[in-house]
């Protein structure tokens, strides 16, 4: 009995000893871990404070950049590009104007001035403009009889579109005179014939024009391109296939003029009597010198507009439809034909319709 008690006590003692030992080991392990943790905490703390510093610095930077942006907050309206396009009745007219209007839909702040070579505004062009979604002004100005190209005349015999471009300029000057800002209005004037092909980029290039900006034109003058030659950021001569001695041997599509310059030179216009190839020069001569030309399109190294020519379609069936330039508008439908022959001698109607550009709605 007594030995059994002794044994039990011994067991209890051993158990107690072992439990205590385990407890001590556990406590020691915990201690060890805590030691490890504190050792890790120091670089962690450093990292956190470093990141806090970084965050603070970035927040400061954002605050500063927002402060500098503040003055521009009401976004400075970019200058409007006024595009003057002479056009005349022919088989491909509707196709050309459709293509052009759909290019212009992609250009913000563009005002299209379409001037028909016609004694009245035609339903074809009127309808096309109404449906185009482009901000436009529709004008007309017939070419004087003695200056009109006759059937079979080569296209270079007489410069085309002279009266129409001048009419566009006249309207623009009159319309702008009524606007605030006088001769100091921001804007750019560009002469865009309806058969060319325009990269959207050319409109952004010309938007910053101060006086007269210039760039290459592709597929013109029997060459792959013509271009002003730029050295040290200045136009020094022209790469052209024909009479480089002309004051400004450039295509109509190769330059834009600031609205300011157009307004402050009210007499500047195209001279229909200018010798062949001198039409562009007749307009630019009084406005700018070669030294003042502003090269665009990466110092005139890129072609962003092409003098494409749509082939004149050959009608197989004569059904009274193959005449051109006589007021027949095949694309406008036969019924419209009757309207185009009614004569409206009212001079130059101005009809400006402003529409929200689809561009903005997209």
Ligand X SMILES: *[C@@H]1O[C@H](CO)[C@@H](O)[C@H](O)[C@H]1NC(C)=O
Indicate which residues carry an active-site annotation: 280
Q: How far is the CB of 236 from ligand X (least distance, A)?
A: 12
Q: What H or E segment, with its residue span, contains residue 81?
A: strand 81-87
Q: Are 253 and 192 in contact (CB under 8 A)?
A: yes
Residue from 232, 320, 356, 362 binding ligand X (CB under 6 A): 232
**Candidates 208-216, 219-227, 255-263, 344-352; binding stretch for ligand X (CB under 6 A):** 344-352
- 245 or 342, CB closer to ligand X? 342
* Angle value at C-alpha 299, between 294 and 302, nearest 5 degrees: 120
Per-residue interface string for the shown chain with ligand X, residues 271-310, x marking contact by CB under 6 A: ---------------------------xx-----------
Residue from 326, 344, 348, 352 binding ligand X (CB under 6 A): 344
Beta-carbon contacts of 181 under 8 Å, excluding residues fewer than 6 positions away, are none
- 20 or 344, CB closer to ligand X? 344
Structure tokens at 120: 């009245």
Q: What H or E segment, with its residue span, contains residue 65?
A: helix 2-69
Paired strand residues for 115: 86, 139
- 184 or 346, CB closer to ligand X? 346
Beta-carbon contacts of 64 under 8 Å, excluding residues fewer than 6 positions away, are none
Q: What is the 3-state secondary structure (H, E, C) of 309-351?
A: CCCCCCCCCCCCCCCCCCCCCHHHCCCHHHHHCCCCCCCCCCE
Q: Does 349 bind ligand X (CB under 6 A)?
A: yes
**Candidates 165-173, 254-262, 309-317, 343-351; binding stretch for ligand X (CB under 6 A):** 343-351
- 61 or 346, CB closer to ligand X? 346
Q: How far is the CB of 63 from ligand X (least distance, A)?
A: 33
User: What residues line the site for ligand X (CB under 6 A)?
Assistant: 232-233, 298-299, 342, 344, 346, 349
């Amino acid at each position: 009995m007594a030995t059994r008690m002794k044994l039990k006590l011994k067991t209890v003692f051993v158990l107690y000893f072992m439990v205590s030992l385990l407890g001590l080991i556990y406590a020691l392990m915990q201690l060890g871990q805590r030691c490890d943790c504190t050792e890790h905490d120091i670089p962690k703390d450093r990292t956190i404070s470093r990141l806090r510093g970084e965050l603070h610095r970035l927040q400061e930077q954002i605050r500063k950049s927002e402060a500098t942006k503040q003055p521009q907050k009401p976004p400075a309206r970019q200058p409007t590009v006024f595009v003057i396009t002479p056009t005349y009745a022919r088989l491909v007219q509707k196709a050309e104007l459709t293509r052009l209007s759909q290019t212009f839909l992609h250009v913000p702040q563009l005002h299209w001035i379409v001037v028909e070579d016609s004694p009245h505004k035609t339903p074809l062009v009127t309808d096309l403009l109404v449906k185009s979604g482009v901000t436009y002004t529709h004008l007309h100005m017939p070419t004087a009889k003695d200056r009109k190209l006759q059937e079979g005349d080569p296209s270079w015999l007489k410069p085309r579109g002279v009266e129409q471009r001048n009419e566009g300029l006249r309207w623009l000057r009159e319309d702008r005179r009524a606007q605030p800002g006088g001769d100091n209005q921001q804007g750019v004037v560009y002469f865009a014939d309806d058969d060319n092909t325009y990269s959207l980029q050319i409109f952004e290039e010309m938007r910053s024009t101060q006086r007269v900006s210039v760039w290459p034109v592709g597929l013109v003058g029997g060459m792959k391109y013509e271009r002003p030659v730029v050295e040290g950021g200045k136009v020094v001569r022209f790469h052209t296939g024909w009479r480089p001695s002309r004051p400004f041997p450039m295509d109509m599509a190769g330059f834009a003029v600031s609205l300011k310059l157009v307004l402050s030179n009210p007499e500047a216009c195209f001279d229909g009597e200018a010798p062949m190839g001198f039409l562009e020069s007749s307009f630019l001569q009084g406005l700018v010198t070669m030294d003042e030309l502003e090269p665009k399109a990466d110092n005139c190294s890129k072609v962003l507009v092409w003098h494409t020519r749509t082939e004149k379609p050959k009608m197989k069936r004569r059904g009274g439809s193959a005449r051109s330039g006589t007021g027949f508008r095949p694309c406008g439908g036969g019924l419209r034909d009757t309207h185009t022959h009614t004569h409206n001698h009212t001079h130059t109607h101005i009809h400006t319709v402003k529409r929200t550009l689809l561009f903005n709605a997209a």
